[in-house]
């Protein structure tokens, strides 16, 4: 048995099994010039060779369509890396397309953090395809008694891979805040996430591939065959049956969800997708962060923020600045820097414990002159499909706009969990024209879909510019929700949030 296997089983607390094949280290195969994606996203002649291009995916339907188009167009390789990959309609549709790609010879590598609701048998079934390999990052050692894993090994399991990326043929990648699931794609969910990611082309795609390989080959990634074997290879009859049972097809070909009605789909068909070009770099933690807590992304972000001269717009769904962070933000504001922060209100936050600790710092931030906004629970999130089934909106985008020229998009929240426990990644673009336009669009969104926090007579209030009301308590939040957040703020759990 190889040293890698022994080390992994020592890490996961599993018994050694000499029948297991050693984990094979594999790497991306680079840019495939023969891919149809290469022809579509050809580097423009008047753009410097070291520039990368990006296309913003602001709506759920555009984000889903782009991923489907990447999978359907791939001819060589697909690498996917996600924290959450649900087992709902949109996720099943993507899995079906991945299977189709594998059937035509595309090599698929799927790296999932082991915080999934999918059955091991289902993942093993997919992994059995000769062109699909699945690995789980930092897996639970007890598969059927996961709570026992937390009791015996909670410190390790509390550290997760939060990265989100997808790359096709080494030509294009998608990086940002979205996981895979209905709520991220504006489809039939009780909550609709306002999220953001970007389609990438150019040299930064190579950086994304290198990042993926670091995680794929790390000692924390376990091949699915080590966890559960599946000797059964799916055949067309099985997949067709599953396809009909899940009722995927008709849900995405009805008049309500017809892809032909989507603007991005039309642009793709007419070869009219225009990228924004500029200097770009990828910031990311190494997988070893789950073992040593050291964050390369934080080092890069600190350097980036230290260079801010006049303006910082921070969008973070889970915002827990801590005492030190609050002091730093307040000092920056007092030095004349314009700081705007958008996060979730208590009613729109899907983790009330986060709000309980964030609330401790609001008054100090506002008193320092920081412009603090909270998203409404019934914010109007743009989506093309007329029926989403959602009754509540929640901010999920992780974005920064710095000095009206730099755009930061990634998986990282501004909280201790992202800084110290989870691994994260983000792409940084230098593009003044786009950032200025995006900032103007955000200003309009804030006045219609968010509350501005202010101090009146020493008390915190929420100003609703849309209704011209001033509220003196947490908007749209009932007694139980307020109580839960308040009690959470009393518990010593800030470093876990």
The catalytic site residues sit at: 162, 164, 169, 396, 398, 403
**Nearest CA among 176, 86, 117 for reference residue 407:** 176
Q: Is residue 306 classed exposed, middle or buried when 0-12, 13-18 and 19+ CB atoms within 10 A define those classes?
A: exposed
Helix axes of 120-127 and 89-103: crossing angle, nearest 10 degrees: 20
Q: How far is CA 303 from CA 283, 321, 447, 482, in A?
A: 11, 17, 31, 37
Q: What are residue 405's phi and psi, to 5 degrees?
A: -150, -30
- Facing residues of 361 across strands? none
List all residues 6 or more positions away from 182 whose beta carbon is below 8 Å from its beta carbon: 86, 88, 89, 90, 91, 188, 189
- Three-class secondary structure of residue 208 per DSSP: helix
Q: How far is CA 248 from CA 92, 96, 205, 242, in A?
A: 7, 9, 31, 9
List all residues 6 or more positions away from 171 whose beta carbon is below 8 Å from its beta carbon: 31, 32, 35, 37, 38, 41, 201, 205
Residues 460, 451: Cα–Cα separation, whole Å: 12
**Nearest CA among 37, 74, 31 for reference residue 49:** 31
> Which position has the token pair 């801590």?
322
Residue spans of alpha helices (H) in 281-401 = 289-292, 296-306, 322-334, 352-358, 362-367
DSSP result, 84-142: -B-SSHHHHHHHHHHHHHHHTT-EEEEEEES---S-HHHHHHHHTSTTEEEEEES--S-
Report whether 279 contacts 427 (CB < 8 A).
Answer: no
Q: How far is CA 277 from CA 14, 51, 203, 269, in A?
A: 48, 6, 11, 22
Residues 325, 339: Cα–Cα separation, whole Å: 13
Q: Pairing state of beta strands 107-113 and 77-82?
A: parallel
């Amino acid at each position: 048995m190889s040293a890698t296997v022994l080390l992994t089983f020592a890490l996961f607390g599993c018994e050694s099994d000499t029948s297991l094949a050693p984990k094979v280290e594999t790497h991306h195969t680079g840019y495939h010039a023969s891919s149809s994606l290469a022809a579509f996203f050809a580097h423009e002649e008047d753009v410097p060779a070291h520039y990368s291009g990006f296309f913003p995916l602001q709506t759920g339907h555009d984000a889903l369509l782009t991923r489907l188009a990447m999978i359907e167009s791939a001819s060589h390789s697909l690498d996917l890396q996600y924290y959450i990959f649900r087992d709902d309609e949109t996720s099943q549709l993507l899995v079906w397309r991945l299977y189709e790609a594998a059937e035509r010879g595309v090599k698929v590598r799927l790296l999932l953090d082991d915080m999934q609701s999918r059955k091991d048998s289902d993942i093993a079934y997919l992994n059995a395809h000769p062109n699909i390999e699945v690995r789980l990052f930092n897996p639970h050692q007890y598969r059927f008694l996961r709570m026992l894993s937390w009791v015996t090994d909670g410190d390790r399991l509390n550290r997760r891979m939060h990265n989100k990326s997808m790359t096709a043929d080494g030509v294009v990648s998608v990086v940002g805040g979205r996981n895979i699931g209905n709520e991220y794609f504006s489809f039939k969910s009780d909550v609709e996430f306002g999220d953001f990611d970007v389609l990438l082309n150019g040299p930064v795609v190579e950086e994304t591939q290198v990042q993926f390989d670091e995680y794929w080959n790390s000692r924390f990634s376990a091949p699915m065959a080590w966890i559960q074997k599946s000797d059964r290879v799916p055949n067309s009859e099985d997949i067709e049956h599953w396809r009909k049972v899940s009722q995927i097809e008709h849900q995405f070909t009805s008049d309500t969800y017809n892809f032909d009605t989507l603007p991005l789909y039309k642009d793709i068909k007419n070869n009219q997708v225009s990228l924004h070009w500029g200097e770009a770099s990828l910031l990311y933690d190494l997988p070893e962060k789950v073992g040593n807590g050291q964050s390369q992304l934080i080092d890069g972000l600190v350097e980036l923020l230290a260079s801010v001269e006049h303006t910082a717009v921070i969008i973070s769904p889970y915002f827990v600045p801590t005492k030190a962070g609050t002091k730093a933000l307040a000092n920056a504001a007092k030095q004349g820097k314009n700081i705007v922060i958008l996060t979730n209100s208590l009613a729109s936050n899907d983790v009330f414990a986060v709000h309980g600790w964030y609330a401790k710092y609001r008054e100090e931030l506002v008193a320092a002159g920081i412009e603090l906004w909270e998203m409404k629970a019934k914010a109007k999130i743009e989506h093309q499909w007329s029926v989403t089934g959602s009754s509540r909106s929640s901010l999920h985008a992780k974005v920064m706009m710095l000095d009206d020229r730099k755009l930061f998009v990634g998986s990282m929240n501004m909280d201790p969990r992202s800084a110290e426990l989870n691994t994260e990644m983000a792409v940084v673009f230098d593009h003044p024209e786009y950032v200025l336009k995006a900032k103007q669009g955000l200003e309009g969104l804030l006045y219609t879909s968010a509350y501005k926090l202010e101090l009146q007579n020493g008390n915190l209030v929420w100003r609703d510019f849309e209704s011209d009301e001033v509220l003196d308590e947490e908007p749209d939040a009932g007694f139980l929700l307020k109580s839960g957040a308040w009690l959470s703020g009393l518990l010593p759990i800030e470093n876990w949030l």
